[in-house]
A and B are shown apart, each in its own frame.
Chain A
Amino acid sequence: MNGLRRMPVVNYRDIKPELRQLQRRAFLRNTLSLGGLALLTACDLSTNSGVDAALKSILRFDDRVQAALFSGRRLAQTYPPSAVTRPFRFNAFYPEWQVRGIPDGWRLEVAGSVSEKTPWTIAALRMSPQVEQITRHICIEGWSQIGRWSGVPLRAFLQRIGADLRAPFVSFRCFDGYSTSIDMASALHPQTILALDFDGQPLAPEWGAPVRLRIPTKLGFKSAKNLQAIEVTRIFPGGFWENQGYDWFSGV
């Protein structure tokens, strides 16, 4: 796959996020392709607003189906160390040369329905019991790769900060401008971790330093890198891609 090819200085993947930015201004407005024209004769093609609304409401229905299919006890398959993909493919909404280092005085902030709001240092996170997993990271684009992460189970972390575990959403804000959110049931899954190490080493900036979410029961874009703040909330938080039309639940 692409990860095995040598990358030229500028390639399509580098400019893809910018190309996308141009494409996704209005969600689904570009359905005016031949396929769209041929299949949408009954719809108002000048705005497509009715079609967009229908698709979005079906996606919300799909989210309910996915939540019903999800089991907090069903584990993602784990692999032996020999199965780990090397080199691991970098992916973000920006090219690799725009990766940001850890900001000075970085602390992991916690907010929302939690009783203990003291920010966390990386040392404090390392003091908590760690778990390791070798799991498949599946991108919404269809490619996948197997990686090895270890860190603090999110369930233990949420309990430690006195989070209201009945709140429906856990939201993640990152210092690179990214954001995402997940449902509480998935947040409490035993394989959902705040990863500190990748492949036996502390996370490098391109892999999400100093701490990232790793959630093998959801598509890759939910495993937010370069975390800045975690919020437990009752208000639907959305996210960077979700606000542009990626299906919110995105379970696998």
Chain B
Amino acid sequence: MPLHHQPTRTAAHPAIVRFLHWVWVYAIGCMVFSGWQIYNASPSLPFNFPRWTGLGGWLGGALAWHFSAMWLLALAGIAYLAYGFTSGHFRRDLEVPGPRAVVRDLWSGLTFRLGHRIGHYNAVQRLLYLGVIGALLLQVVTGLAIWKPVQLGGLVSLFGGYPIARNIHLTTMFLIVAFVIVHVVLVAIFPRTLVSMIVGTPAEPEDPI
């Protein structure tokens, strides 16, 4: 993308990315909270999620939410992947420069010396965004496996059988929730990033390296 042609008018986040972001907030919220309610019906770990966090009220309601919101999540995911590959968004914004850059940016981030330029991602951000995209893909695939362990039997055996696939689905949920917590904390520290995900804030000039 020729960013340098219109430096002041190019949005930090294109409209489609902003739109899909908020679709995900809703869809992932529905999936996580209904998933907690489903988990509570037969916990495989020695704890329950608090009842008030559950979506759907009871197992049947939670499953209805889970198997409805999954379509929204899948459609938004397909749209994003299609956009990301065809527009160069993945290559431009998410390609991780290398392990040394990750270590460097992680260190300057932890010592509060990492500048934040809206519209540009540092190496740690790139790694985390790629990570959560991977986790969401894994969550969809393990979800399909435990939804249809006979009709998609090949998927289930790929994950080592139904009970293991179910546990991977649970573990991946924790990874996604951990990402969301880090993500929201960072947005709280840099509130203008929230604005840039709602309106078309122009991208800031890149950090001089």
Question: Does any Cβ of B come within 8 Å of A123's Cβ?
Answer: no
CB of B170, distance to nearest CB on chain A (Å): 9
Stretch at the interface among B63-71, B88-96, B196-204: B63-71
The contact of B39 among A74, A142, A252, by CB within 8 Å, is: A142
Given A31-B55, A33-B52, check contact A55 B64 (CB 8 Å). yes
Q: Which residues in A have their C-beta under 8 angstroms from that of B147?
A: 252
Stretch at the interface among A20-28, A105-113, A114-122, A154-162: A20-28
The contact of A246 among B29, B60, B71, by CB within 8 Å, is: B60
CB–CB A247/B64 < 8 A = yes
Instruction: Bin chain B's interface residue count.
Output: 35 or more
Q: How many residues of A contact B (CB 8 A)?
A: 48
Question: Does any Cβ of A come within 8 Å of B148's Cβ?
Answer: yes
Tell me, in angstroms, the Cα distance from A35 to B128 when the chains sit together: 26
Question: Does any Cβ of B come within 8 Å of A10's Cβ?
Answer: no
Beta-carbon nearest neighbor of B157 in chain A: A77
Beta-carbon nearest neighbor of A136 in chain B: B162
- Against B, the Cβ 8 Å flags (1 = close, 0 = not) of A36-54 are 1011000000000000001
CB–CB B150/A36 < 8 A = no
Chain B contact residues, majority secondary structure: helix
The contact of A33 among B55, B63, B64, B163, by CB within 8 Å, is: B55
CB–CB A55/B60 < 8 A = no
CB–CB A28/B64 < 8 A = yes
Question: Does any Cβ of A come within 8 Å of B119's Cβ?
Answer: no
Tell me, in angstroms, the Cα distance from A59 to B150 when the chains sit together: 20
Question: Does any Cβ of A come within 8 Å of B87's Cβ?
Answer: no
Complex interface residues of chain B between 149 and 179 (CB less than 8 A to chain A): 149-153, 157, 162-163, 166
Tell me, in angstroms, the Cα distance from A216 to B42 when the chains sit together: 20
Given A62-B67, A77-B150, check contact A142 B60 (CB 8 Å). no
Question: Does any Cβ of B come within 8 Å of A1's Cβ?
Answer: yes
Question: Does any Cβ of B come within 8 Å of A7's Cβ?
Answer: no
- Against B, the Cβ 8 Å flags (1 = close, 0 = not) of A59-87 are 10010001001110011110000000000
Given A23-B58, A77-B153, A252-B151, check contact A54 B33 (CB 8 Å). no
Given A29-B57, A35-B29, check contact A144 B163 (CB 8 Å). yes
The contact of B61 among A30, A136, A241, A252, by CB within 8 Å, is: A30
Given A2-B42, A31-B56, A74-B150, check contact A144 B162 (CB 8 Å). yes
CB–CB B63/A140 < 8 A = yes
CB of B157, distance to nearest CB on chain A (Å): 8
Q: What would be 17 A-B contacts, judged by CB atoms less than 8 Å apart?
A: A24-B57, A24-B58, A27-B61, A31-B61, A34-B53, A35-B29, A36-B55, A39-B26, A55-B61, A55-B68, A58-B64, A69-B148, A76-B153, A138-B162, A142-B166, A251-B148, A252-B149
The interface of chain B, by Cβ under 8 A from chain A, is 26, 29-30, 33-34, 38-39, 41-42, 44, 51-61, 63-65, 67-68, 71, 147-153, 157, 162-163, 166
